[in-house]
Chains A and B, each alone.
Chain A
Amino acid sequence: MGWYNKRLAKSLWVFHISGSPCNNCDIEILDLLTPRYDVERLGIKLVGSIRHADVLLVTGIFNQKIAPKIKKIYEQAPKPIFVVAVGTCVSSGCCFKESYNRVEKREEVIPIDMYVPGCPPKPESMIEAVAKLLGVLNG
């Protein structure tokens, strides 16, 4: 599958879910997609429908209400799909770690392939994360 993985690495289409974040990570993600960082030169494109996606960007602590929906969206995606978790919220809960409605273990809702720490992470570090994903795909 080496040849196919190389094609996949050059054309990652991203779908973005916000799973109850403070919304700051989402704003940084939007920053990433602006002309300044121009991720289209790496073949990355934001798509509006989960059926077209290769990468799922998730943010936030996944509260009780949204966790089943995130699971459903993950199941609707055509495989192979990679999940990139943006922000400290997903990895440790950040400032919401004692919130009453959070999901205890987010990696039990959907399998997460990669964490990008930071509160919020800079667009540069998200690009670095994507570059690492590309490195894995290219072998």
Chain B
Amino acid sequence: MIAWILFHLFVFPGMLFTGVLGLLVGWLDRKVSAWFQFRVGPPLFQNFNDFFKLLGKETIIVKSAVKSVFVVAPLAAFAVLTLIATIIGLALFYNEGFAGDMFVVMYLTMTFSVMVILGGSSTGNVYSSIGAGREMKLLLADELAFILVFLVPIVKSGYQVQFDQILAYQQNAGAIIGSPSGIIAFIVGILCIQAKMTLAPFHIPEAETELVDGPFMEYSGPLLAFWKLDHYMMYVIFPFLLVLLFLGGFNLTGIGILWSVLKYVGIVVVMIIIKNTNPRIRIDTALNFFWKYASPLAFIGVILAVLGV
């Protein structure tokens, strides 16, 4: 039993699987972005090279930093993402869930942002602090819409808050994206994910041109490697979450494998296209966008779902 739990946590849906798949999908992101700019793009194992290179470099712990927080934040963020990946992966691949696992995932995604804020503000660098502040504002902006997006599958499946029961509902009644409320929630969901992952147009906290990587500016060596890995792991976690909530999960038999891969890659490619065709927006525009347009839209989706549409 214990061995099985450890296996899930460290190998299959958890750390190793998500990490490796995340680095590969990160390559897809860089390659497609390169095609957008008429370039060739990096080789397949580029992200692995980057990761191992960073592991071997010197770690500088900044003099002005709060040392414990500075060191713990990236590792805790990594642990949090591993946990989310395990919970989502168990539901997707083994049909296993526990009461309230949805709420756990909601809380943990928020915890990740909190870790970014802690890590950024612990360095004592001005740019990092501004980046951490912006991350906080972005969290305030997208959190409401993100939770409303979760509500639609909950309502649709007859008020189930367990991933495996939502999957079971979708197996009987068809994927939730097939209904109008499902489509609305899915679109808002993709936008929220874009903000959660701080991809363009919401890469406001990182803002390479003015904040030089924001919260991660003072990190070097292995600690930076973990931040990079965290970022690429989210390329696995959030699309999986959307597949789970709206597209009816994966079917790993026969032709279903191709279909599953298409679902996942489709979501990732949509994210990359949004990333490459939009410039960065200001933080107030982001707040406006989420509070004035995205959240009400998601709310309409929830009302539609309650009405049974």
Contacts and interface: CB of A to CB of B under 8 A. Distances in A.
Interface stretch (B43-51, B193-201, B285-293): B43-51
Nearest to B47: A11
Contact of B218 (A8, A40, A48, A51): A51
A99 interface: no
A41 B220 CA distance: 23
B41 A41 contact: yes
Given A48-B212, A51-B60, A11 B38 contact: no
Given A41-B41, A51-B220, A11 B59 contact: no
A93 B53 CA distance: 35
Given A35-B39, A40-B42, A79 B58 contact: yes
B50 A43 contact: yes
A52 interface: yes
Q: Which of B46, B52, B57 has the most CB of A within 10 A?
A: B57
Contact of A76 (B34, B39, B60): B60
Contacts of A11: 46, 49-50, 53
B213 interface: yes
B60 A38 contact: no
B217 A38 contact: no
B30 interface: yes
B255 to A, nearest CB: 35
A48 B208 contact: yes
A45 to B, nearest CB: 8
A78 B34 contact: no
A79 B46 CA distance: 21
Nearest to A6: B49
A34 B69 CA distance: 38
B57 A43 contact: no
Range class of the A interface residue count: 20 to 34
A7 B52 contact: yes
Contacts of B216: 49
B44 to A, nearest CB: 11
A41 B40 contact: yes
A49 B127 CA distance: 11
Given A11-B46, A41-B41, A78-B60, A52 B53 contact: no
Interface in B209-247: 209, 212-213, 216-221, 224
Contact of B46 (A8, A10, A76): A10
Interface string A27-65: 000000001001011010001110110100000000000
Contacts of A43: 42-43, 46, 49-50
Q: What are the 9 A-B residue pairs with the smallest beta carbon separation, nearest first?
A: A48-B212, A51-B220, A78-B58, A78-B220, A10-B49, A38-B39, A11-B49, A11-B50, A7-B52
Interface of A: 4, 7-8, 10-11, 35, 38, 40-41, 43, 47-49, 51-52, 54, 76, 78-80
17 contacts: A4-B53, A7-B49, A8-B53, A11-B49, A35-B38, A35-B39, A40-B40, A41-B41, A41-B42, A43-B42, A48-B209, A51-B218, A78-B57, A78-B220, A79-B57, A79-B58, A80-B58
